[in-house]
Amino acid sequence: MGNDPSAEIVYETSRYKALVDEYDNLSTNEGYLDWGKKAPAVAAYMSLTIARVRMVIAQGKAKLDQGKDSKQRQKITRGIEQFDQFQQILLRQLANLIKIMNTLPTGSVKAEFEKLIKMNVPNPDSPYIRIFLKKSGEIRVDGELIDLDALKIWLAPLAEKHGVVLYTREDPQDPEPPATAKQVINLVIQHHLAIRLCLKSDFSDGIDVEGKLRTGNR
């Protein structure tokens, strides 16, 4: 599958396990509310990992279509199968976390938690920024050339509004990522932002003709 992007996938399953174990020991309204504030960030982290895995699988399938010899095709196929198995595990964990999130006690605690969830679930009117990385490592946000320090300034207010990052790079099928790719992704994770990995340079697979965020079947 190559060194990238699979090499960038580091999934800390302890985040999920710790959150689930903590839920089993909750007993007070304050405890449930505090847990409810942590859960969306962990769910977003899991969703980001799933998106990365899907990108690896898509790139693997693209390589299969390039007419490799039988040994290479077998190796790529095994890699795809392994990442697909990993994806299925992540999907089950995320589904279980969402199920737990939906079983919070009724009353004010659940109402407050549902409000938090609603704030963190992207919708067509959610604010977003578009991050495009050139092969040279150049970073452009909504067409503007910036550096990593400036990117933090863009991400902070977006996080406060529970926005979304639309991310792509020059030739996304290229197995070699830009030099700044890892730093950019890490900054998005640190700001607990939802991320949409796009394959089109104009981000049309992330936003529609009206400039609205694509969600679900949009």
Question: Cβ contacts of residue 203 below 8 Å, gap of 6+?
Answer: 130, 166, 168
* Three-state secondary structure string covering 14-72: HHHHHHHHHHHCCCCHHHHHHHHHHHHHHHHHHHHHHHHHHHHHHHHHHHHCCCCCHHH
Of the ranges 41-45, 66-70, 111-115, 209-213, which is most confident?
209-213
pLDDT for the residue numbered 10: 66
Q: What is the CA radius of gyration of the chain?
A: 19
Q: What residue segments make up the domains of the chain, in order of their start?
A: 1-121, 122-218
Rounded CA separation 141/192 (Å): 18
pLDDT tens-digit series, residues 183-204: 898 888 788 787 888 888 899 9
- Higher-pLDDT residue of 80, 145: 145
pLDDT for the residue numbered 120: 58
pLDDT for the residue numbered 1: 40
Comparing C-alpha atoms, which of 16, 39, 46, 17 is closest to residue 103?
A: 39
Confidence of residue 113 (pLDDT cuts 50, 70, 90): low
How far, in whole angstroms, is CA 44 from its chain's centroid?
Answer: 6
pLDDT tens-digit series, residues 141-178: 999 999 999 999 999 999 888 888 999 998 877 777 78
pLDDT tens-digit series, residues 68-79: 677 888 888 888
Q: Are strands 144-146 and 139-141 parallel, antiparallel or unpaired?
A: antiparallel
Rounded CA separation 26/32 (Å): 6
pTM over 0.85: no
- Please state whether the peptide bond connecting residue 5 to the residue before it is cis, i.e. omega within 30 degrees of 0: yes
Average pLDDT, the chain: 81
- Is the pLDDT at 12 greater than 60, yes or no? yes
